[in-house]
Homo-oligomer: A and B are copies of this chain.
Amino acid sequence: MSTISRNDFLLSLASKDKNNFDSYIKHLHPIDVALYLERSTDEELDTFIKFTDVNYRARILEQASIDMQIRFLEVLEYEEIVDLFALMSNDDVADTLGNLPIHKRKALLNEMKASETQTIETLLGYSEDSAGGIMTTEFIALKKNLNVKDALLKIKEIGPKTEVIELIFVIDEEQKLFGTVDLRDIFVAEDKVLLEELTNIHVVTVYPETDQEKVSLLVSKYDLKAIPVINKQRALLGIITVDDIIDVIVQEHTEDMLRLAGVRGQDLENRSVFSSVQRRLPWLMINLGTAFLAAFTVTLFESVIAQVVALASSMSIVTGMGGNAGNQSLSVVVRGIALGELDFKKSWSLVFREMLVGITQGAIIGVLAGIILYLKVGNIMFGVIIFMAMVMNMLIATSFGFLIPLIIKRFNFDPALGSSIFLTASTDIFGFFIFLSLAKLFLPYLT
């Protein structure tokens, strides 16, 4: 698609070359144009606005990032913005408004027609991460007593304004969701057949306050093209389409992965060193605390280490292996929770299985470590001690790695949030303690 490079595109703006610009955007997808504009100067953005009509600008604004939207709207007059909004779908307008400072948002809502602001204000009321926050109000809802012929006429009329056309939502006399009809079934039915006869009434629905992650799990589990959002009275409020769900899934994955490593935020596009440090430092600080706790554990055994210095080098093998084994359990569980396969209530008892995994791994790794250490130090007791410590620390690693995310989730926090820090704190502290305690116990055999 994007055969025109960002440099060429921005150059046409910088040099105010309208001919080149026009020929370029003909070959560029609006999403690429929006991406290219991210790197534009304010002057280039000005030129872009001069070169394009309000229709094209609306398409670009819908695709732009939050930062870009704000820059875009700073350049335009209020009236121009209102014209632009009139060409965008309500949910995109609400998203854009939601990112503006409150005074600007209010001023713009005042400028807009009352008929338009009502839906937008309702949409603005939902949390960004909820079904209400990501739903669109552009969909086709037809009465269940409509016949196929009239339904097709309606679909042809409303279709171009909606996001999904393959799935038609059917409502009853009281505007309540009755079910969905597949457009294919309407196509093959006789003219006189009523929609209610074609309707699938077993429809998966969500409420506006449902968390977007839950919505994405339902859509992906049931391979849905769109999912209706209803209120407690089953009135149809909006729909969420599968392409918006893809954005949710990608965003939630990024969050999970970064949080697990203790990085705040989800936006990867941070250019300043300062903002990177800001996003990573908080968890490193907490980690410094746990690192000193682990170090303190070692301090308790300084007299033992003073007598057998070889303990200093081998103790980190026990903690290092524990940390890694625990992280394996952790990532399996965090992923399982994200996929909706695990939760505290139904899964806590699986911890016994996980403990067995830890003991088995600990025994295998422990025997190997024991043999190597025996050959290196020439003292069989050294090997026995690292074997025992390895089994116990791996048992702690896998069971803590399994339970920590489930417990964090149980208290309605993100299971990825900091679980890795708590885990390595446990495996370090217990690892040092167990290994050095055993060394102290068997000290006569080590010296």
In the complex, how many residues of chain A place their beta carbon closer than 8 angstroms to a beta carbon of chain B? 106
**A160 interface residue (CB < 8 Å to B):** yes
Chain B residues, CB < 8 A from A222: 1, 29, 31
Chain B residues, CB < 8 A from A202: 1, 27, 29
User: Are the C-beta atoms of A281 and B160 separated by less than 8 Å?
Assistant: no
User: Are the C-beta atoms of A250 and B320 separated by less than 8 Å?
Assistant: no
Interface stretch among A74-82, A84-92, A114-122, A356-364?
A356-364
Q: How far is the CA of A424 from the CA of B428 in the complex (A)?
A: 14
Nearest CB in chain B: distance from A374 CB, A? 13
Q: How far is the CA of A220 from the CA of B249 in the complex (A)?
A: 10
12 further A-B pairs in the complex, CB-CB below 8 A; given A257-B331, A291-B316 = A155-B187, A250-B339, A256-B257, A268-B336, A273-B356, A277-B360, A283-B324, A288-B369, A292-B317, A292-B372, A298-B316, A302-B310
Chain B residues, CB < 8 A from A306: 306, 309
Q: Which of B166, B246, B257, B365 contacts A334 (CB 8 A)?
A: B257
Q: How far is the CA of A250 from the CA of B295 in the complex (A)?
A: 40
**A174 interface residue (CB < 8 Å to B):** no
Q: Which of B242, B258, B325, B428 contacts A280 (CB 8 A)?
A: B325
Q: Which of B204, B220, B309, B368 contacts A250 (CB 8 A)?
A: B220
**A176 interface residue (CB < 8 Å to B):** no
User: Are the C-beta atoms of A328 and B31 separated by less than 8 Å?
Assistant: no
**A69 interface residue (CB < 8 Å to B):** no
Chain B residues, CB < 8 A from A269: 341
User: Are the C-beta atoms of B331 and A288 separated by less than 8 Å?
Assistant: no
Question: Which 3 residue pairs spanning A and B have beta carbons closest together?
Answer: A298-B313, A261-B331, A312-B312
Q: How far is the CA of A310 from the CA of B156 in the complex (A)?
A: 79
Chain B, residue nearest A369 (CB): B288
If A187-B155, A320-B424 touch, whether A312 touches B298 (CB-CB below 8 Å) is: yes
Q: How far is the CA of A284 from the CA of B263 in the complex (A)?
A: 25
Chain A contact residues, majority secondary structure: helix
Q: How far is the CA of A353 from the CA of B268 in the complex (A)?
A: 14
Nearest CB in chain B: distance from A286 CB, A? 10
User: Are the C-beta atoms of A257 and B254 separated by less than 8 Å?
Assistant: no
User: Are the C-beta atoms of A291 and B321 separated by less than 8 Å?
Assistant: yes
Q: Which of B223, B296, B317 contacts A243 (CB 8 A)?
A: B223
Chain B residues, CB < 8 A from A313: 295-299, 302
**A68 interface residue (CB < 8 Å to B):** no
If A257-B256, A268-B335, A339-B254 touch, whether A368 touches B288 (CB-CB below 8 Å) is: yes
**A13 interface residue (CB < 8 Å to B):** no
**A183 interface residue (CB < 8 Å to B):** yes
User: Are the C-beta atoms of B156 and A188 separated by less than 8 Å?
Assistant: yes
Q: Which of B250, B258, B276, B310 contacts A331 (CB 8 A)?
A: B258
Nearest CB in chain B: distance from A392 CB, A? 16
**A184 interface residue (CB < 8 Å to B):** yes
Nearest CB in chain B: distance from A63 CB, A? 9
Chain B, residue nearest A355 (CB): B273
Chain B residues, CB < 8 A from A315: 312
**A421 interface residue (CB < 8 Å to B):** yes
If A281-B364, A292-B372 touch, whether A188 touches B166 (CB-CB below 8 Å) is: no
If A1-B202, A250-B220 touch, whether A305 touches B294 (CB-CB below 8 Å) is: no
Nearest CB in chain B: distance from A367 CB, A? 11
Q: How far is the CA of A283 from the CA of B361 in the complex (A)?
A: 11
User: Are the C-beta atoms of A316 and B428 separated by less than 8 Å?
Assistant: yes
Chain B, residue nearest A352 (CB): B273
Chain B, residue nearest A295 (CB): B313
Chain B, residue nearest A372 (CB): B292
**A260 interface residue (CB < 8 Å to B):** yes
Chain B CB within 10 Å, residue with most, of A357, A424, A428, A432: A357
**A262 interface residue (CB < 8 Å to B):** yes
Chain B residues, CB < 8 A from A183: 159, 165
User: Are the C-beta atoms of A361 and B281 separated by less than 8 Å?
Assistant: yes
**A42 interface residue (CB < 8 Å to B):** no
Q: How far is the CA of A280 from the CA of B354 in the complex (A)?
A: 12
